[in-house]
Chains A and B, each alone.
Chain A
Amino acid sequence: MNYQADESRLILRFEEDLISTTVKKLLVSCRHAIEISSDVGTVVADLSEVEMIDSQGLNLLITLYKNAQDARKDFSVCGASPANAKLLAFVNLQERFKG
């Protein structure tokens, strides 16, 4: 994963699937990125390069969402493939993750 921050937004660009085998490592990287970008008002998860999200991947996004909320930041998701958008919509996360 890489990230990019400007004055208002932190973009977390995921370069691998959000699945059981990657979530632990991704959570550490995401938390680090959020920590060092404490001034931004919005955290954006860019899923353009994500092919699969499994239940643990969903939990990762929910964890990031909650972490952002606790830090009084907005959280949104962009670039989800139709299949991943369908999954997010099913668990009612698409609405919550809208930018």
Chain B
Amino acid sequence: MTLEISQTKKKILVVDDDPGMLRLISTMANPAQYNIVCVLGSEEAINLIGKEGVQQFHAIVLDYHMPVYNGLDLLAYIRARDPSISAIIMTAEHDVEVVTQALRFGACDFINKPFRFRQLLDAVDKAVQLTLEQRYLESMASEIHEIIDIHKRINATANLIEKKRYMDRYSVSLETIFYPIKVTGGDFAHCFPVSEDRLLLAVGDVSGHDITAGFISSYFRGIVRGMVTMGADVKTICRHFNEFLINEWNHPRHSGVITSIAVCFMMLDFREGVIRVVAQGFPHPWLANSDAEIVQLTEGREALGWFKDLDIQEMVYALPDNGTCLLWSDGLLDLAEDQQLCPFSLAHYLLSDVDTVQRQRILQKRKDDIVVMRITWSDESHSDKGEIQWSKCRPIYLGICNGGEVDRIDEIQASWKRCLVLMFSSLPADKLHEIILCIREAVLNAMLHGCCKDKKHECRVQIAFDAARKILMIRVDDEGCGYNQSEITAQADANDHVSLGLQIIRYYTDSISLNRNGAALTMTFDLAKELN
């Protein structure tokens, strides 16, 4: 880096206990270029610096051999006040130890007496240049920190929902986390209250993991906010920003890799009772509805900034009275895969308050920025305090397997066991054992009988946790048509595992309900005693 040195005179502090040397330097230096401040001895120098500071100087020249405080003592004193100042040590000593120490104390050059005056001037020129560069870098670093702080503030205020209740019925809560791999990054989760009855959520990922990505994410959100305020719909916003990226930001005249934004917009429309989703290159969001089902919403299409003819499709879903939506960036999926965890468990774990060594250990393994948003709403006009409200149950596991995977049941079991162990590390081993056994029985039943061991038929394991009431809710669904009661009785007589498995489940669970003739089984465990 070369900085253009301004025409103003540079101020040089020269400290020596030899008045003759000070006079010589003062006389020889070009008065048009340098303003030489000569100080006799280290004590006087300390007085001067104590009063006037170091920042006014562009370089310092110190004699090593001085009474009271030698040149190195003085150097340490000065650099403690301003590490950016460059210093030259002059000495008649030919001691390697002095040179080594001088360098360690931050001297940038070292001149042996006697020296040629040109040699000193060259050293001073270099020292001035170095000081200017160092101060420029420090000022840049300080500005970058300010920008990062602003970005963090934007992220922190992005999710403050002004209205917690919509249409006087829906109680809404929103939680987000953002773990960049560097000081900041391009992932974001932002909430835009649109009107009395609509809430727009945007979760996205700007390509790159640096301050530029963070800047673009803030800029994008500013554009979205402005356009939403002016009444634009999400598709128009996507088109507008896609054009901006292609025609301006990623214009061929700019060198480097193109910038893109993967984003998912989700509009909760409480009046119309719908969720509108537009996903552009972003992992699909998930909705946990009041039937204890976790469903995948729209697949992500092309990211913004890739192609001019952007394919945008808005998908519309019915808004359940009570529900939870989860949106996460691919950084979470990568980390979940690396840790062999279900992303639901990992998202829930990271959203929770736990601050443990284990959490840090897991986060250290991330290779990408991670952003997660969880929004929960509940129609309080329908709420029954006696019932478990799925909306207040956090989905923590979703596993899908098929009937042809019966022989893999141990491996599949290990996946829900890992998640339960992560979520409930304080749960007694026996209780965990019972829960795992019940899930196993339900899944085996679904694979063997519901799916008839056929790989074309799927079964789903969905686990949710009501953190307030400490109730674990597990739902196992298969694509079969269930059983009739006489079948179950006959099997019970034959000691068939369907019946025995059901008996085990009934024995260990706090409640069990069978729907679709047993093709959908929901069981609960009250863990209040164990977790309190």
Residue in contact with A20 in the complex, picked from B444, B495, B504, CB distance below 8 Å: B444
Taken together as a complex, chains A and B put the C-alpha atoms of A54 and B433 apart, in Å, by 11
Complex-state Cα separation, A59 to B406, whole angstroms: 17
B504 contacts A59, CB within 8 Å? no
Count of A-B contacts judged by CB separation below 8 Å: 48
Known contacts A55-B504, A91-B503; is-contact A21 B434 (Cβ 8 Å): no
- In contact, A54 and B430 (Cβ under 8 angstroms): no
Task: Give the distance to chain A from B276, nearest Cβ to Cβ, in Å.
Answer: 44
B523 to chain A, nearest CB (A): 15
The answer to whether B500 touches A55 (Cβ under 8 A) is yes
Chain B, interface size category, equals 20 to 34
Q: Which of B407, B430, B440, B497 contacts A59 (CB 8 A)?
A: B497
Q: Mark A79-90, 1 if CB is under 8 A from B, else 0.
A: 000110011001
- The interface residues of chain B lying within 8 Å CB-to-CB of A19 are 409-410, 440
CB distance from A51 to the nearest CB of B (A): 8
Q: Flag if A20 contacts B430 (CB, 8 Å).
A: no
Complex Cα gap A54–B443 (Å): 12
With an 8 A cutoff between CB atoms, is B437 at the interface?
A: yes
Question: A82 contacts which of B430, B495, B503 (Cβ < 8 Å)?
Answer: B430
Residues of B within 8 A of A86 (CB): 430
Contact with A along B421-441 (1 / 0, CB 8 A): 000000001100110110011
B500 touching A21 by the CB < 8 A rule? Answer: no
Return the contact of A55 from the options B406, B430, B436, B501 (Cβ within 8 A).
B501
Q: Which of B371-428 contact A (CB under 8 A)?
A: 406-407, 409-410
- Of chain A, the residue at the smallest CB distance from B440 is A54
Q: How far is the CA of A91 from the CA of B429 in the complex (A)?
A: 21
- Name the distance in Å between A32's Cβ and chain B's nearest Cβ: 23
- The answer to the question of A37 belonging to the interface, with a C-beta cut-off of 8 Å to chain B, is no
> Which residues in window 50-87 of A have CB below 8 A to B?
51-52, 54-56, 58-59, 62, 82-83, 86-87
Chain A CB within 8 A of B507 CB: yes
Which of B406, B407, B437, B503 touches A52 (beta carbons < 8 Å)? B437
In the complex, the answer to whether B504 meets A90 with C-beta atoms within 8 Å is yes
Cβ A52 vs Cβ B500 within 8 A: no
**Smallest Cβ-Cβ distance to A63: which chain B residue:** B495
Closest to A17 in B: B410
Shortest Cβ gap from A98 to chain B (Å): 20
Are B495 and A54 in touch, CB under 8 angstroms? no
Name the residue on A nearest B432 (C-beta).
Answer: A83
Q: Besides the contacts A19-B410, A59-B500, what 6 more A-B pairs have beta carbons closer than 8 Å?
A: A20-B409, A51-B433, A52-B433, A54-B501, A55-B441, A90-B504
Closest 8 CB pairs of A and B: A55-B497, A55-B500, A55-B501, A83-B433, A83-B430, A90-B507, A21-B410, A56-B497
Chain A interface residues (CB < 8 Å from chain B): 19-21, 51-52, 54-56, 58-59, 62, 82-83, 86-87, 90-91
15 contacts between A and B (CB under 8 A): A19-B409, A19-B440, A21-B410, A52-B433, A52-B437, A54-B504, A55-B441, A55-B500, A55-B501, A58-B500, A59-B500, A62-B495, A83-B433, A86-B430, A87-B437
